[in-house]
Amino acid sequence: MLGIAGHTTAVPGRLCEIMHEVAVASTSRDTRASQPNRCLPKGQDCPQFRPGSPTRYTPTVSRIALVASFLFAVIAFALGIHWGLPSRAADPFLFGQRAPWTGEQIRKLIGDRATAGLGADVDRDPLISRDGPVWLNETDAQRAAIVLRYRLYSAQPDEMITFMSLAGMQPSRFELDPKLYQYGGLWIYGVAAIIGATLNPTANLEHYLDHPEQFARFYIAARVYSAMFGLVGAGAVAWILKRLTASSVAAAIGVLCYALLPVVNNMAHEAKPHLPAAALMLLACVAGMKFVETARARWWVLTAILCGGSVSMILSAWPIVVVVPAMLCCRAISWRQRAVIATASAVIALDVYFLCNPYVLKHLLAWNSPENPLRSNLANSKAMYTAALSLGSISDAARLLGYAASGVVVILGFIGALFLSFNAAKRRVADGPTSQPRLGVAVILLGAPAAIILIQFTLLADGKPGEFARFALFPAVVLLIFAIGGVWNMAGWPAARAIVLFLLVGRVAVGGISYVWHFLRDSGERPTRLIVAERMEAARQRGARSVGLHAEPAPYSAPPMNLWDWELWYSPWRAVGRSQPCDIWLDAVDAYPDTSGWRAPPGGPVFLEWIRPRLLPTPISWAAKPFSVRGQARLLDAPAEQAR
């Protein structure tokens, strides 16, 4: 199923040079006042950035700090990476006293659901299209579909679509169409190459239904792929902060905060392409800065390759293409040169994208074909999002950005961007009209794509849950860079700078540790969803017989429950007034509210939340997800069943 040679794009050796400069920078003396103002090569207009802080650190301290921060990032990304994986631990709850079904029985009951014209992520029978309640476990076929999800799906709802995409390929017949195009070929084929090279996959679905722990290895491989790119992103953050501050200690602080930034740490633990794309976007900005400094062709070529590679990871990375015109405007060259480079960059970026996504080009050319999975895939994505600017969308965007980066980083990031811009403007006046100090280049090249993403993010944010904060990943990292770079460049205020950095690191650390703690909590033998399953089984033994859900039963949306003794009912949110009367209503929620334990008048329902967060809530993550429970107190044993 998964033994596929990955389509990759050859990245020139200059990409390695960028990462090498991070290591080289750490060996230099962090003495910004004593560094010589080395001139750029002859004929270059852009002057060397002149540091302004007298902070001094020995080369040994600098090296130790930077190396330690990278080791910390490795640990932060590795801890809990095996959270929420499929296993047969749910079988006792799903089957009760009955013998669990074998993989062969499940496959026969669900049948063949392949459809050539649909995208890999498109539901063949979507419940969301129903207007009224649906009984979810009335037949054995329905029960088999539920069991399959608990045997093969993880506790993250989007991770499985990568493997659904790979399952539809037939390498022996050279049918490699992923039928999933918002995730790019650099992700899909990259995951396939890793799995095919290391895990010896088989096309036998029954084998994985009988041995879900074997399928769980695929999730770990894809998560490691994402986390490895996260470390590349850490290198880019260190390089940029080193250029902004001339301090390896500041770069080390940046890597430390980056590894614990809520959205970064969360995405490093999920088999999704958002973090790899963000890392490539950061490298594109680095290459753009190098072009502004040197005007060498290899840097604009590498920038174009990285822009194409970013979009080849995930389609939502498209705003990174603005780096090319931004860097051309920052560099003092003729308009003819700008036009030539811009055109060539567009061609290179498109070549990279279509090299990694050849089936996108194929389906674009056959757009009106009756069975076009690209059209199906894009229609499915479009149905999930509605763009509109309103007070609600602005409020939700601010809330979600706070989830992604924490309020301290957001506030200091915007202040830092203004400070760096003002500082760059002052130096431009002092150095002449052809000057473009590094501070200004960094703000422009990082800020331009981040601003476009934030505008798009705001238009789509209305009513979105916490997990939507993943789309603010790149802006969150940019705000972190601006926050640390801005604070570090506040010359003349060493005490204030130390206090602000302490508060920044402390707040990010508490948030990041909360995420790691929750991943670890769902990595043990008794994950939180089994705790909820035990409580639901206790409610069944007290007489509860029906459960209302607002999503299909799956490891991410509901605990495993006895499929013969419970009646599981789905009801869309819009049909609350016409929903099926149920003994208990159960929903996975973002955060643990203060109203848990609230009771209606005597005889009415009790409202509970199960699974309390450790330290701070982690609304982006699906690990240790709180569950909202509503039902009669006698069924829930409310005084004794308060959430832990």
pLDDT tens for 406-433 read: 999 999 999 999 999 988 777 665 554 4
Distance of CA 276 to the CA centre of its chain: 9
Kindly report the average pLDDT of the chain as a whole number: 86
Provide the pLDDT for residue 549.
94
Nearest-CA neighbor of 619 among 499, 469, 473? 469
Provide the pLDDT for residue 593.
59
In the predicted model, is pLDDT for residue 91 greater than 90?
yes
In the predicted model, is pLDDT for residue 89 greater than 70?
yes
Report pLDDT digits (tens) over 246-287. Answer: 899 999 999 999 999 999 999 999 999 999 999 999 999 999
Q: Which pLDDT band holds residue 602 (cuts at 50, 70, 90)?
A: low
In the predicted model, is pLDDT for residue 628 greater than 80?
yes
What's the token pair of residue 16?
A: 């390695």
Average pLDDT (16-22) is: 47
Provide the pLDDT for residue 636.
87
Provide the pLDDT for residue 57.
60
Query: For the chain, how many residues are written?
Result: 644
Q: What are 587's strand-pairing partners?
A: 628
In the chain, where the domains are located: 14-30+55-81+223-521, 94-142+525-644
What's the token pair of residue 601?
A: 């008048």
Q: pLDDT higher for 590 or 57?
A: 590
Of the listed ranges 9-13, 70-74, 372-376, 492-496, the least confidently predicted one is 9-13
Average pLDDT (578-582) is: 73
Q: pLDDT higher for 489 or 340?
A: 340
Q: Which pLDDT band holds residue 368 (cuts at 50, 70, 90)?
A: confident
CA angle, 87 as apex, 81 and 91 as ends, to 5°?
150
Distance CA 236, CA 300 (A): 17
Provide the pLDDT for residue 27.
39
| pTM exceeding 0.85 | yes
Q: For a pLDDT cut of 90, what percent of the chain falls above it? A: 68
Provide the pLDDT for residue 495.
84
Q: Which helix (H) or strand (E) holds 606?
A: strand 605-610
Provide the pLDDT for residue 93.
98
In the predicted model, is pLDDT for residue 436 greater than 50?
no
Provide the pLDDT for residue 370.
82
Q: What are 314's strand-pairing partners?
A: 183
Q: Which residue has the tokens 């996260």?
A: 230
Q: For a pLDDT cut of 70, what percent of the chain falls above it? A: 82
Q: Taking each helix axis from N to C terminus, what angle separates 212-245 and 185-198, rounded to the nearest 10 degrees?
A: 120
Distance CA 224, CA 194 (A): 10
Average pLDDT (350-377) is: 91
Average pLDDT (333-340) is: 96
